[in-house]
Chains A and B, each alone.
Chain A
Amino acid sequence: MADIRQYILPKEKLQQAIQRLFQLPDEVVAPTTAPRGDIYFQPVNSGAEVELDFGNSLVSPVQCIVPSEEVIFEYHQREQGPPEIVAPPPPAPQIILGIRPCDVAAIQNLDNFFIEREPADGLYEARRQQTTLIALACPEPVADTCFCTCCEGGGLYAREGFDVQLSLVEGQYLVEVATEKGQRICQLWDDLLSPATQEIVEARDAQEKKAIYARTGPDANLAAAIRRITADAVNPEIWEAVGHDCYSCGGCSYLCPVCTCYDVVDINYDEDHGVRVRRTDSCRLGGFTREASGHIPRNTAASRARWYAYHKLSHDYYKQQARYGCVGCGRCIITCLGDIGMPTVCKLVRQSEAEKVS
């Protein structure tokens, strides 16, 4: 944390600070209120549209970097010669304002997976490089589904991975700048900021401790589940039970900010013109592992539930990706038709241990 610079922004100056972001050529993506009242991260044109008093958005802002559907290229078949293939224009710079610490952690996960782990994914890398993250720390768990504090390295404020972070502490914002991209933002705010005091930094830690102590959210105890799953010491009945409750809708992985699987499909607009797109796919769907011959290796909801937990929570994958696949954002709890979000699964897995011991 040595090279993180810390400042103070008075609360009443926040609007002004946000408004200045629009001076940059970057597109500003921020939480806004949709017609039904939900909050989603959307491009905004003024500070007035930004809604920072929110829990977390059901759709993670991570989708600004990994869209649920993106064009790989457009093609035109020609009478003669090879088809013409046109790559989409390079992504434009964007600022994600108000991203929560869990989603920042998820992006670190994605960086490890898409960039660090060779070969790097060009589509992701291009977008990621153009993205500046202005994180918004949580004074306390912002929804009753949050369990980031049970997750590895998780916390109510991000320790790393952001460019700028805003934490509301005792009526003022602690502003942290971690990168050059962040520096660029802070230059805009030069006259609004004053140096941070040791007190406010400590107050934030105290605030976090207090909130963790008082928290009532789902009890995931990921660490215990990870031990069980890595050791493959989970009673198969647990997976049968989870499989029984699973509708194979795919929702958990579509919304999970850490999930990366995608499908590649060609969409023909007419006989000789179309696009190849990649769109998020889900390992919870029945046909996910279908081979050309029709054989489906993971053909039961139970086997897919097991795989999902294994991929996210086993040390085998930790070795490859340097992080566990759950940041505790709680979206899978909200979206699950069968009410088997990650904490519920972890609990079942832990109980399986208890049963085995007894």
Chain B
Amino acid sequence: MQREDYIPRPVVIDNIRPETLTEKSFTLRFTDDEPFTFRPGQFVEVSVLGAGEAPFCIASSPAQTDAIEITVRKYAEGMVGSALHERQVGDYVGVRGPLGNPFPLEEFEGRDILIVAGGIGLPAVRACILYILDHRDNYRNVTLLYGARTPADRVYEDDLGIWEGSPDIVCQQTVDIADEAGTWDGHVGLITTLFEPLQIDGPQTTAIIVGPAVMYPFVVAECQNKGITDENMYFSLERHMKCGVGKCGHCTIGNKYVCLDGPVFTYAQMRQMHDE
């Protein structure tokens, strides 16, 4: 790595799409002519000069090489997220990456894929979904389970609509709480309630699970119920990542650097991690 590798590439904000009250999606276009290639599951460090750098999953399709899409939640404590929310189309920010290990989607070829996404986890698997749909023939059944807290908390609603109508993917959504207006006519209940009726060929299935940490133990139990092995459950972990290159030490869990050894881990690996 060069000394310059900590310097972000300039990108211009091409489009901003509000997703929910606290989340916005940004299209970031590279202004140098170099193509940006990545694999689903990788992340980038996004710089807002003056506010700092923060990691975001790439939500766009790996087929696109001149721009990426990220979804940003605004947290009270997150300086970069808040700063991004204040930026306008046409503003410049910076990108470093792609970083981290992707989902080994080639290894999943010929298998059933079950994608479980909770809340803001959907952007992290969107690149996967788009990749799989692009290479649909290589995979058998593809199922997406998506759970949000309320209908208004759902991100990428347009995509969800498309996938629901697509023959290529079984897409099921649920919300923990239906909104008062009564416009939600879908399933209500925790994401685990979507598992019950699912017909899954457990040993033949690879699960991709991304969501808040509280969701994991329950989803793991459901997956195990369905016969999915620990080696075939893939997670993308959130950690406080600074450098993204295994040096700053912030993202460690046990003997793993999430930024370098992950963020994608199998459940089998996670069980071995030796930490709090």
A–B contact via C-beta, under 8 angstroms: yes
Contacts of B111 in A (CB 8 A): none
Known: A262-B248, A276-B49, A281-B248. Is A83-B78 also a contact (CB below 8 A)? no
Q: Is the CB of B52 within 8 A of A265?
A: yes
In the assembled complex, A358 has its CB within 8 A of some CB on chain B: no
- Which residue, of B10, B239, B242, B247, has the highest number of chain A Cβ atoms within 10 A? B247
CB contact between B274 and one of A83, A85, A232 (< 8 Å): that residue: A232
CA distance A73 to B6 in the complex (A): 9
Within 8 A of A (CB), among B32-56: 47, 49-54
- Which residue, of B5, B50, B242, B274, has the highest number of chain A Cβ atoms within 10 A? B50
Within 8 A of A (CB), among B247-276: 247-250, 252-255, 274-276
Q: Is the CB of B255 within 8 A of A292?
A: no
Known: A82-B92, A263-B248, A291-B239. Is A121-B50 also a contact (CB below 8 A)? no
CB contact between B52 and one of A77, A262, A264, A281 (< 8 Å): that residue: A264
CA distance A264 to B92 in the complex (A): 20
Interface string of A101-118 (1 = CB under 8 A from B): 000000000000110010
Would you call the interface of chain B mostly helix, strand, loop, or mixed? loop
In the assembled complex, B218 has its CB within 8 A of some CB on chain A: no
In the assembled complex, A15 has its CB within 8 A of some CB on chain B: no
- Which residue, of A268, A289, A303, has the highest number of chain B Cβ atoms within 10 A? A289
CA distance A73 to B9 in the complex (A): 13
Interface string of B169-194 (1 = CB under 8 A from A): 00000000000000000000000000
Q: CB-nearest residue of chain A relative to B73? A: A292
Q: Is the CB of B4 within 8 A of A122?
A: yes
CB contact between B276 and one of A87, A281, A298, A314 (< 8 Å): that residue: A298
CB contact between A288 and one of B78, B250, B253, B276 (< 8 Å): that residue: B250
- Which residue, of B1, B77, B239, has the highest number of chain A Cβ atoms within 10 A? B1
CA distance A125 to B239 in the complex (A): 27
Q: Is the CB of B250 within 8 A of A281?
A: yes
CA distance A146 to B9 in the complex (A): 46
Contacts of B77 in A (CB 8 A): 290, 292, 294
Contacts of A82 in B (CB 8 A): 10, 12, 31, 92
Within 8 A of A (CB), among B11-69: 12, 31, 47, 49-54
In the assembled complex, A247 has its CB within 8 A of some CB on chain B: no
| Closest-CB distance, A233 to chain B (whole angstroms) | 12
| Closest-CB distance, B102 to chain A (whole angstroms) | 16
Interface segment, A154-162, A163-171, A305-313, A331-339? Answer: A305-313
Within 8 A of B (CB), among A93-141: 113-114, 117, 119-123, 125-126
Contacts of B12 in A (CB 8 A): 82
Contacts of B253 in A (CB 8 A): 297
CB contact between B78 and one of A85, A264, A292 (< 8 Å): that residue: A292
In the assembled complex, A274 has its CB within 8 A of some CB on chain B: yes
Contacts of A291 in B (CB 8 A): 238-240
In the assembled complex, B246 has its CB within 8 A of some CB on chain A: yes
CB contact between A260 and one of B5, B245, B249 (< 8 Å): that residue: B249
CA distance A260 to B257 in the complex (A): 14
CA distance A117 to B261 in the complex (A): 12
Contacts of B255 in A (CB 8 A): 314, 316-317, 319-320
In the assembled complex, A38 has its CB within 8 A of some CB on chain B: no
Contacts of A310 in B (CB 8 A): 254, 274-275
Q: Is the CB of A121 within 8 A of B78?
A: no
Within 8 A of A (CB), among B188-244: 213, 238-240, 242-243
In the assembled complex, A35 has its CB within 8 A of some CB on chain B: no
Q: CB-nearest residue of chain A relative to B242? A: A264
Contacts of A126 in B (CB 8 A): 3
Q: CB-nearest residue of chain B relative to A90? A: B3
Interface string of A181-201 (1 = CB under 8 A from B): 000000000000000000000
In the assembled complex, A72 has its CB within 8 A of some CB on chain B: yes
| Closest-CB distance, A169 to chain B (whole angstroms) | 39
Q: Is the CB of A294 within 8 A of B249?
A: no
Known: A262-B247, A292-B77. Is A87-B240 also a contact (CB below 8 A)? no
Contacts of B6 in A (CB 8 A): 72-73, 122-123, 276, 278
Known: A77-B49, A274-B49. Is A293-B3 also a contact (CB below 8 A)? no
Q: CB-nearest residue of chain A relative to B248? A: A262
Contacts of B53 in A (CB 8 A): 264, 276
Contacts of B248 in A (CB 8 A): 261-264, 278, 281
Contacts of B54 in A (CB 8 A): 292
In the assembled complex, B81 has its CB within 8 A of some CB on chain A: yes
| Closest-CB distance, A148 to chain B (whole angstroms) | 24
Q: Is the CB of B1 within 8 A of A121?
A: yes
Contacts of B4 in A (CB 8 A): 87, 122
Q: Is the CB of B49 within 8 A of A122?
A: no
Contacts of A119 in B (CB 8 A): 1, 5, 245-246
Within 8 A of A (CB), among B73-93: 73, 75-78, 81, 92
Interface string of A228-267 (1 = CB under 8 A from B): 0000100000000000000000000000000011111110
A sample of 14 inter-chain contacts (CB < 8 A) reads A72-B7, A77-B49, A83-B10, A83-B92, A114-B247, A261-B249, A265-B52, A274-B49, A290-B240, A291-B240, A297-B239, A310-B275, A316-B274, A317-B255
**Chain B residues at the A interface, C-beta cutoff of 8 Å:** 1-8, 10, 12, 31, 47, 49-54, 73, 75-78, 81, 92, 94, 213, 238-240, 242-243, 245-250, 252-255, 274-276
- Rank and list the top 3 A-B pairs by shortest CB-CB distance, nearest first: A261-B249, A82-B10, A316-B255
Other A-B pairs, 9, CB within 8 Å; known A82-B31, A264-B248, A298-B276 = A121-B245, A264-B242, A278-B248, A281-B248, A288-B240, A289-B240, A292-B240, A307-B252, A316-B255
